[in-house]
Structure 1
Amino acid sequence: MREARADPRSFDSFAGDYDRYCDLHDPLGEWLGARLTELALGGARALDAGCGSGRHAQFLADSYREVVAADLSPALVETARLRRSHARVRYEARDLHDIADDDGFDLVISIATLHHVPDLGKALRHLRSLVRPGGTAILVDNVSGRPTPPRWAYLTGAAYELPRDILRLGARDAWWLYRFRTSRPWLAHLLSDRYLTRTGFERRYREVFPEARFTDLDFAHAMIWHHPAVRRDRS
């Protein structure tokens, strides 16, 4: 069993800055939006497990009548409530394993969260149990050739992205993004993360979702799984 040593609540100390960082750089969110459109997903209920500051939950509210968005970090949840309040979104500060819902969800997503959990298999089984018959799970997480990339790799990456960010965002936002990426709190958080390899990701996730499809997202890997049972009418 893989242990994750990162503490998701380390986001508490820089929740506001992390939210701005995601405003400026959210490739996984862009991928998620494209997949939801491509798959024509929508329905009554969706769950965002590890919602952060609510960016993806707010997007889900366009396609689902009710969205439950949960995160272990109270500071991120409070940021979500303040900045992304929505009539169809309910934000909750709670552990992933504490999400209990007898009605289940038409869509369960988790984006760049599961490398934090201490027992990946348990978390995956729990998320699967929350998907309604006929529903879908979309789980995305970072992957790496080594459990924890070295500090210099993150610093080099920040320098490499700076010129492109200047062209994309302008000098002011690009410099802010560079300073955040090289800040002590952010680097300390990254250096506490533990990642699966791409092969390890597929092996572990397929144990729980044997019919899943996988997509290579460069620094991350994505899984899409459709519940094999027939969807019931919930109108």
Structure 2
Amino acid sequence: MTKSTKPLKVDPRLFDAFAGDYDRYAGLCDPLGDWLAELELTGGRALDAGCGSGRHALALAASYAEVVAADVSAPLIEVARVRRPHERIRYEIASLTDVRDDEGFDLVLSMGTLHHLPDLAAALAHLKSLVRPGGEIVLVDNVVTVPGATRRQYFASAARELARDVRRLPIRDAWWLYRFRTGSAWLDHLMSDRYLTPAEYRDRYAAVFPEADFVDLPFAIAMRWRRQAA
């Protein structure tokens, strides 16, 4: 008699179990991507730290000579390589804290990723070290006024989003988004998130990036900081 084997437990913080679906979700609902396009960033080398399926990296490739896009999720990087290949993008499977580059970057970008890191201060310091003199860093992450949302609250939020989505999307896409937002994989992921409050965000980021600029976005805060030229 052979012993039954238990399926490997998937880390809910990662997107490995639903990489393709997450890519579709991001394509239907990406307000941060719209905000990023308004910045009109340009330069020589850019890093997208926590690049996911490559949507923002592809946008950067239009105005940067070289883009390094790194994510710890191998399935997401595979989606990026298949769906968003570009001659100026190099995709890497790596945590943002493992990215090493002696040349440095004119732009270091990270969007919606840093709340997954167990040591935020170390991650911020590492990203700061990758910015060239005269370069800048743009960090965007979700914040909450009251931490610790429950699954029931996320269900209620999905229902509210559905009401809005049916006004802006074909009904098939709106219904798909609702099913994704209420699926067990996505809810498990959300329950693993540890968001800062807006005040905590500003305090902890400003400790590493003095004189940074902060911009309030829906459900998120963006920080921009420029390293002085040599």
Superposition TM-score tier, normalisation by shorter sequence: over 0.9
Contact 1:52-1:77 within 8 A present in 2 as well:
yes
Matches within 5 A, 1:4-23: 7=11, 10-23=14-27
Which whole-Å deviations, capped at 9, do the CAs of 1:165-222 have from their partners, x for residues lacking one? 1121110100001100110100010011101100000000001100100011121111
For 1:35-84, what per-residue CA distance to the aligned partner results, in whole angstroms no more than 9, with x for missing partners? 2x2xxx31110000000000000000001000000000000001100100
Work out whether residues 138 and 222 of structure 1, in 8 Å CA contact, stay in contact via their aligned partners in 2.
yes
Change (3 A) 1:61 1:18: same
Cross-structure match for 1:211: 211
Q: CA deviation at 1:126?
A: 0.4
Partner of 2:145: helix, strand, or coil?
A: coil
Letter in 2 for 1:141: D
Partner of 2:161: 161
The aligned amino acid for 1:20 is R
Pair 1:26-2:30 in alignment: yes
The within-5 A match list for 1:173-184 is: 173-184=173-184
CA distance in 2, matches of 1:7, 1:229: 41
Normalised by the size of structure 2, how large is the TM-score? 0.93
160 and 9 in structure 1: CA distance in 2 versus 1, 3 angstrom threshold: closer
User: Where does the alignment leave 5 or more consecutive residues of structure 2 unmatched?
Assistant: 1-9
CA distance, structure 2, for counterparts of residue 78 and residue 146 of structure 1: 35
Higher RCO (C-alpha 8 Å, min separation 6): 1
Q: Say if 2:188 is the partner of 1:188.
A: yes
Asked if residue 141 in structure 1 is aligned to residue 145 in structure 2, the reply is no
TM-align CA RMSD: 1.4
Secondary structure in 2 matching 1:191: helix
- What letter corresponds to residue 35 of structure 2 in structure 1? W
Structure 1: tracts of 5 or more residues without a match: 1-5, 231-235
Which amino acid counterpart does residue 206 of structure 1 have in structure 2?
Answer: A
Counterpart in 1 of 2:6?
none
Aligned partners of 2:13 and 2:193 also within 8 Å: no
Cα separation, 2, equivalents of 1:208 and 1:7: 29
Aligned-partner SS, 1:195: coil
Which residue identity does 1:33 align to in structure 2? A
Q: Percent same amino acid at aligned positions?
A: 62
User: Equivalent residues in 2 for 1:26-175 (5 A)?
Assistant: 26-35=30-39, 37=40, 41-175=41-175
Distance in 2, matches of 1:101 and 1:192, equals 30
Instruction: State how far apart, in whole Å, the 2-side matches of 1:139 and 1:228 are.
Output: 18
Is the 2:13–2:192 contact (alpha carbons within 8 Å) kept by the matching residues of 1?
Answer: no
Displacement, 1:95? 1.3
| C-alpha separation in 1, matches of 2:140 and 2:221 | 6
Give the match for residue 3 of structure 1.
none
Q: CA–CA distance in 1 between the matches of 2:13 and 2:163?
A: 32
What is the CA–CA distance in structure 2 between the aligned matches of 1:74 and 1:9, rounded to whole Å? 13
Farther-moved stretch of structure 1 (143-152 vs 107-116): 143-152
Q: Deviations over 1:137-191 (max 9, x none)?
A: 0000011123332212211111111122112111010000110011010001001
- Distance apart, 1:228 and its partner CA: 2.0
Q: Shift of the alpha carbon at 1:229? A: 2.3
Whole-Å Cα distance in 1 between the matches of residues 65 and 176 of structure 2? 36
